[in-house]
Amino acid sequence: MAVERHGVHLGQKRGVQILQPHDSSSSDRVSVDVPEEHRPAGPPSPTAWSRGPHALLWQLAAVALGGAVGGLLRASLIQAFPGWPGTLPLVILAENVTGAFLLGLVLTLLLRRPRIPQGVRLFVCTGVLGSFTTFSNLTLDVVQLASAGQFALALAYALGSVLLGLTATLLGVTIGRRLGTGSDVSSSAPSGGLR
């Protein structure tokens, strides 16, 4: 490291020079001269924020913020359209099917555009849609229906939710593929991993 104070060269290490301005009025400023071979080729990639010491914190913040948005949407719909005990919970069914469709659509589109930061996928898919859909409410509703003696309705709700959710996801992926034609990446379908 080379340090120059008031025109005096103080040393060099690893090809990096640290220079201090010659005038005493700006003695707190330091400039760093990085050799050409160590400089980045261009602007940082959109996913650069997901690397480094604070990457996990940024990722968790994206999921938490998205989860707050999705949870508020789900709670608002449940409050606006309350169900009656012993009846089909249509709001939860609609939320889960809508969320499955949107997850298939959005995740397919996002995976085809690698330039979109990973934080967007974490916010929308893991956060908003993960919190908007609710497997726990579905299973609780099935148990409550069965406990109320509505065994056929409980079974129909459980199977119907899974089949409608799978169909909605497939439809979302199919539309996402059609909308994403000619995008940045091959036509790979979403698969595994943190959404």
Determine if residue 7 is left, alpha or beta; phi over 0 gives left, psi from -120 to 50 gives alpha, anything else beta. left
Tokens 């943190």 correspond to 194
SS3 153: helix
Tokens 């400023």 correspond to 29
Six token digits for residue 40: 């980045």
Q: How far is it between the farthest Cα atoms of the chain?
A: 89
Select from 37, 1, 35 the least CA-distant residue to 19: 1
Q: Is 130 annotated as a binding residue?
A: yes
Q: Is 160 annotated as a binding residue?
A: no
SS3 90: helix
Select from 73, 66, 104, 69 the least CA-distant residue to 91: 73
Residues making up the annotated binding site are: 130, 133
Residues making up the annotated binding site for Na(+) are: 130, 133
